[in-house]
Amino acid sequence: MQVNTMNNNSTVTLGYAEIITMMEAVRRKNRFIKVLLIFPAAFVAYAMYGGVGPFLQGWFQKFDVLITTSQIALFLHFLGKGNLIRGFNKVVTIFDGQAWQKNKVLNHISTAVADNLIPIFVNFMIFAGLMIGFTIGLIFLANFPVLQYFLENWNVLYPDAGAAPLYAFWKNSIIIPIGLSFLTVFINWLLLDKLNEGK
């Protein structure tokens, strides 16, 4: 990311795949915490869709709030670039009136968007391609009969549970975290890094 200074106004220049690169860097930070936030929620989703059998399915459906809570925590974790508390503090700064004085942040946003329309579009297109590719690939894999057969024989998947639990697990452990990491990197670049400047 390059910062060009002209007439005391800083203009942030975005690379054509920079958000994607930063997204991967954020996802690699503090992996232990990330695993604690991702996989319990993914397992609850797996169980809610019948992956552990109909008896436990109803019981796990009572814990669907865990999925939402974990995703919010993961969002804050990514927002703080690997630090959940820092991510929470960044959200708090949005409501700090002093940070918005003299329209410094609003001017930064409008300038950043105006100067980077094409790179923003390219980054979003790459991200959309990744998400579509992952989604199609995981749907295909979840519906692959041989995989279901082996998982059933290994007692990992409840017999005749189908593709839904597998896709629910992969969606919550792969697709949603990737989406959240992209969103947080973009929000940081566009807004929060400026709000937290000098802190």
The pLDDT tens digits for 16-35 are: 899 999 999 998 888 888 88
- Is 90 exceeded by the pLDDT of residue 76? yes
Query: How far is Cα 81 from Cα 181, in angstroms, rounded to an integer?
Result: 9
The pLDDT tens digits for 96-110 are: 777 677 677 788 889
**Between 7 and 53, residue with greater pLDDT:** 53
Q: What would the mean pLDDT of 149-159 be, rounded to a whole number?
A: 94
The pLDDT tens digits for 52-66 are: 998 888 889 888 899
The pLDDT tens digits for 166-194 are: 999 999 999 999 999 999 999 999 988 88
Assess contact for 138 and 167: CB atoms under 8 A: yes
Token pair of 184 as six digits: 């947080």
The model's pTM is 0.87
Token pair of 17 as six digits: 């795949």
Query: How far is Cα 177 from Cα 71, in angstroms, rounded to an integer?
Result: 8
